[in-house]
Amino acid sequence: MTGGAPEVWRVPPLPALLAAILLIACAEVGGASMVKFKLELTRWARSVMLARPAVHGLVGVRDVDEQAIDETLVKFDAALRLFHLHAEGMGLVIIATTMTAATLVRSDGARRALIALLTVGGAGYPFGYLLWSALIPYYGIQTGKTLAEWLVWIPFGGATIVAAWWLAALLGARLVRRA
Amino acid sequence: MAGAGDPRSSSVFGARVRRKEDARLLSGHGRYVSDVELPRMLHVAFVRSVHAHARIRRVDAAAAAALSGVVSVVAGDDPEFARHRLRACSALPGYVETEQPILAWPTARYCGEAVAAVAAVDRYVAEDGAVLVGVDAEPLPAAVDALEARGSGATVHDGAPGNVLLSRRFEHGDVDGALSDSAVVIERAFRTNRQTAAPLEGRGGVAEWNAAEDKLTLWSGTQVPHLARHGLAEILGLPQNRIRIVAPDVGGAVGVKGVLYPEDVALCLLAMRLGRAVKWVEQRRAGAVRLRAERPAVVWRPRVGPVRLRPGRDAAVASLTLLRRVEYARRELRMRRPPLAVVFVGLLIIALGETAGAVMSQLRPQIVRYAQSRVAANAQAHGLAGSAEYDSEITARAVYSAEAGLSFFHTHAQGLGPLVIFASTVAATAVPWRRARGALYALFALGALFPLGYLAYALAALEWGRDAGIEAAESYILTPLGSAAIVGLVALGALMVMGARRGRAA
């Protein structure tokens, strides 16, 4: 980064923008699907859970099993909702942060690395909730969460966090130098 | 009506030009320098430096001079050649004038520079003699890259320590202003290749000295006979009326025959010394090495930005003919960047929000334990009664409140970070008043800190109880900072409308 910062925003690379837009579109579709297909989704999750009683601790007693299934379905629904919310938010975060990196980071290598991390991390992270939601009926809440964490949240979320702090540090250093 | 392109037109513009020389040239009746034949004429071959930079210690001409048919061998240390120098003058300020020897001595400054000349009865003997000339040279550090040459240790001329003969800066118009108004600014470094022209006919010359009349005649395939005469007169100390330059048919020049070369002077000096006409025709290979090289390794660092475009219309933005490159802007898009500090605040909030989300996920057991311990430590604030069942429920609610505070911080930070960046970008672009923009930036930056209220709430709820925590967070952070964001957004809308009206009025 150097002192000659452009006065206008530079458009981030097309793949970054495309990823952000697609993510927002996925979020919209996810939100709509949650409402439109709520019954179908619940039925599907319930049938999968009933086929795996050991995973969900079902004991064959209706009252106990219904409570367990209801609690799991709440998490199943929450995971879908979290995908919707996070995808909406991360789409905007990708645009804002990659635009900042494209404009204010002069070093080619750092800029490319930041944009790649922010795009891949930001676009991938919300799908962890979708994965968790899909895994809950098969593997249970906790196992599904662990899988989603190691497969998606930690690598993709970690990439975003590292890139966001890296970018903030570069900007902060620049502000300090100016001061 | 006789118009452009009509052979009857009296205007030269657009009119056909009758080619008068075609019949003569195409039928083989052209007369070039190499066609000039004079009585007792000698032929010259040059010995050239194989080093880009070298100190010449000795030129051994004995073997060449002993070759049958060789009439003369001269080197740069010959007093008659050493005292004559080419000097390119310029009135440009800061120009460093340097001298160029006719034959390199004691330093060769580029690969292909003439070091010695062999005059013989024919071209073949001259070339054979040139091969026999021994040049004892000590290679010196060479400057082969235009950028690296600047200020490098390989000084080409002592008179130009930084290897810079002329430094000029060209400016026209408000470049910085135009670039700052551009939708896209492309800044790249371009490196061009070294290049040289290659006319069909190489360089060459025939020099004849008439001692009886003190007249020098030079047949030269030159583009600039008058410049050549002027230069020769100055270098040789002859009146211009004693020098005749004959430019016969020229087999192409492409610019490289537009200067006076050391070889031209060497031919004249040899003719004057030997009293016989001398002829030299350049070899293609020597020409490729020796000819004036252009733009070697020049690095251009253009900043190309689109000119002001009409909204909604595609247009070419700028072109550098040199680069053969044209950039296009799709549409007018001048989204100005807000101050760094505002961007930094937005980015910081995003990073904090991301981190909070990860912390909530990965450290949940620790957070819960900490919250439970704080509730227990502040039993009175939470109204713990000593009943295990009741206290457990109270504690669970308090912990839930703290977790909710963290969660709200995470989601609000993720939302407000981009919001601040985008809203301040709109302000920077659409609000024409500087002070108003400054006020908006301040409001947005304060508003961006709004999510910190939820973080404070999470902590305060554990220390002072849920209601007291909410009250404290609302009173000191959420309400003032949230209001700042709301006021900023409303003001932005109002200022945009006012700005648009002012623009229409203007």
Question: Exposed, middle or buried, B168 (CB in 10 Å: 0-12/13-18/19+)?
Answer: exposed
Q: Which of B167, B189, B211 is the last residue of a domain?
A: B167
Half-sphere exposure in the Cβ direction for B56 (13 Å, CA): 27
Exposure string over B116-150, b if 16+ CB within 10 A, otherwise e:
bbbbbeebebbbbbbebbebebeebebbbebeebe
B348 to chain A, closest Cα gap in Å? 6
Q: Is the pLDDT of residue B323 over 50?
A: no
Weakest mean pLDDT among A60-74, B296-310, B312-326, B439-453 = B312-326
Cα-flanking dihedrals φ and ψ of residue B246, to 5°? -110, 120
Weakest mean pLDDT among B31-40, B164-173, B319-328, B342-351 = B319-328
Question: Is the CB of A8 less than 8 angstroms away from the CB of B336?
Answer: yes
Q: From the candidates B332, B335, B337, which should be mutated to test the interface with A, based on the most A CB atoms within 10 A? A: B337
Pairing state of beta strands B299-300 and B190-191? antiparallel
CB contact B183 to A (< 8 Å): yes
Q: Which of B185, B340, B347 has the CB atom closest to A164's CB atom?
A: B347
Cβ-based contacts under 8 A for chains A and B: 91
Which single residue is written with the structure tokens 């690598």? Answer: A155
- Is A126 within the bounds of a domain? yes
Domains identified in chain A, total number: 1
Q: Which of A9, A168, A172 has the CB atom closest to B335's CB atom?
A: A9
Band of the pLDDT at B106, cuts 50, 70, 90?
A: very high
Tokens coding B471: 């009250």
Residue B8 amino acid letter = R
Question: Is the CB of B411 less than 8 angstroms away from the CB of A93?
Answer: no
Provide the terminal-to-terminal Cα distance of chain A, rounded to the nearest Å.
15
Q: From the candidates B175, B185, B332, B344, which should be mutated to test the interface with A, based on the most A CB atoms within 10 A? A: B344
Taking contacts as CB-CB distances below 8 angstroms, the residues of chain B near A96 are 346-347, 350, 417-418, 421-422
Chain B residue nearest residue A97, CA to CA: B347
Taking contacts as CB-CB distances below 8 angstroms, the residues of chain B near A85 are 411
- Is B320 within the bounds of a domain? no
CA distance B261 to B148: 27
Give A108-160 pLDDT, tens digit per residue: 899 999 999 999 999 999 999 999 999 999 999 999 999 999 999 999 999 99
Q: Which of A7, A89, A164 has the CB atom closest to B337's CB atom?
A: A7
Question: Is the CB of A161 less than 8 angstroms away from the CB of B351?
Answer: yes
> CB–CB of B223/B257 below 8 Å?
yes
CB contact A175 to B (< 8 Å): yes
The answer for B 50-79 residues in CB contact with A (under 8 A) is none
CA distance A86 to A103: 25
- Is A179 within the bounds of a domain? no
User: What 8-state DSSP symbol labels residue A61?
Assistant: -
Residue B354 amino acid letter = E
CB contact A144 to B (< 8 Å): no
Question: Is the CB of A96 less than 8 angstroms away from the CB of B354?
Answer: no
- Is B425 within the bounds of a domain? yes
CB contact A159 to B (< 8 Å): no
Tokens coding B147: 């950028």
User: What are all long-range contacts of A36-43, with beta carbons under 8 Å and residues at least 24 apart?
Assistant: A38/A77, A41/A76, A41/A77, A41/A80, A42/A73, A42/A76, A42/A77
Q: From the candidates B188, B304, B347, which should be mutated to test the interface with A, based on the most A CB atoms within 10 A? A: B347
B253 to chain A, closest Cα gap in Å? 43
Q: From the candidates A7, A90, A147, A160, which should be mutated to test the interface with B, based on the most B CB atoms within 10 A? A: A7
CA distance A23 to B351: 19
> CB–CB of A44/A71 below 8 Å?
no
A108 to chain B, closest Cα gap in Å? 11
Q: Is the pLDDT of residue B307 over 70?
A: no
Domains identified in chain B, total number: 2
Band of the pLDDT at B311, cuts 50, 70, 90?
A: very low
Q: Which of B343, B354, B361 has the CB atom closest to A171's CB atom?
A: B343
Provide the terminal-to-terminal Cα distance of chain B, rounded to the nearest Å.
50
Question: Is the CB of B421 less than 8 angstroms away from the CB of A100?
Answer: yes
The arithmetic mean of pLDDT across residues B49-67, rounded, is: 93
Chain B residue nearest residue A9, CA to CA: B337
Band of the pLDDT at B49, cuts 50, 70, 90?
A: very high
> CB–CB of B295/B192 below 8 Å?
yes
The arithmetic mean of pLDDT across residues B185-200, rounded, is: 75
Band of the pLDDT at B299, cuts 50, 70, 90?
A: low
pLDDT at position B217 is: 97
Closest CA to B147 of B320, B295, B291: B295
pLDDT at position B182 is: 72
- Is A178 within the bounds of a domain? no
Give B193-205 pLDDT, tens digit per residue: 777 788 899 999 9
Q: Which of A103, A161, A171 has the CB atom closest to B355's CB atom?
A: A161
Q: Which of B167, B192, B213 is the last residue of a domain?
A: B167
Chain A residue nearest residue B184, CA to CA: A10
Q: Is the pLDDT of residue B232 over 50?
A: yes
> CB–CB of B53/B140 below 8 Å?
yes
CB contact A96 to B (< 8 Å): yes
- Is A1 within the bounds of a domain? no
pLDDT at position A75 is: 92
Print the domain residue range for B433: 340-505
pLDDT at position A87 is: 92
- Is B285 within the bounds of a domain? no
pLDDT at position B456 is: 92
User: What 8-state DSSP symbol labels residue A150?
Assistant: I
- Is B406 within the bounds of a domain? yes
> CB–CB of B280/B247 below 8 Å?
no
pLDDT at position B314 is: 32
Band of the pLDDT at B92, cuts 50, 70, 90?
A: confident
Chain A residue nearest residue B407, CA to CA: A82
Print the domain residue range for A20: 14-173
CB contact A91 to B (< 8 Å): no
Question: Is the CB of A100 less than 8 angstroms away from the CB of B358?
Answer: no
Give A2-61 pLDDT, tens digit per residue: 345 567 788 888 899 899 999 999 998 988 888 889 899 999 999 999 999 999 988 888
Question: Is the CB of A175 less than 8 angstroms away from the CB of B354?
Answer: no
CA distance B99 to B109: 12
Taking contacts as CB-CB distances below 8 angstroms, the residues of chain A near B347 are 96-97, 100, 164, 167-168, 171
- Is A7 within the bounds of a domain? no
pLDDT at position B320 is: 32
B9 to chain A, closest Cα gap in Å? 54
CA distance B493 to B471: 31
CB contact B358 to A (< 8 Å): yes
At a CB cut-off of 8 Å and minimum separation 6, what does B179 contact?
A: B185, B303, B305
CA distance B500 to B425: 16
Q: Which of B141, B167, B193 is the last residue of a domain?
A: B167
CB contact B301 to A (< 8 Å): no
The region that residue B5 occupies, defined by phi over 0 for left and psi between -120 and 50 for alpha, beta otherwise, is left
Question: Is the CB of B357 less than 8 angstroms away from the CB of A157?
Answer: yes
Question: Is the CB of A164 less than 8 angstroms away from the CB of B334?
Answer: no
pTM for the model stands at 0.50
CATH code, domain carrying B76: 3.90.1170.50
Taking contacts as CB-CB distances below 8 angstroms, the residues of chain A near B411 are 85, 89
Question: Is the CB of A97 less than 8 angstroms away from the CB of B347?
Answer: yes
- Is A158 within the bounds of a domain? yes
pLDDT at position B317 is: 33
Question: Is the CB of B354 less than 8 angstroms away from the CB of A160?
Answer: yes
Give B248-272 pLDDT, tens digit per residue: 999 988 888 888 999 999 999 999 9
Question: Is the CB of A10 less than 8 angstroms away from the CB of B184?
Answer: yes
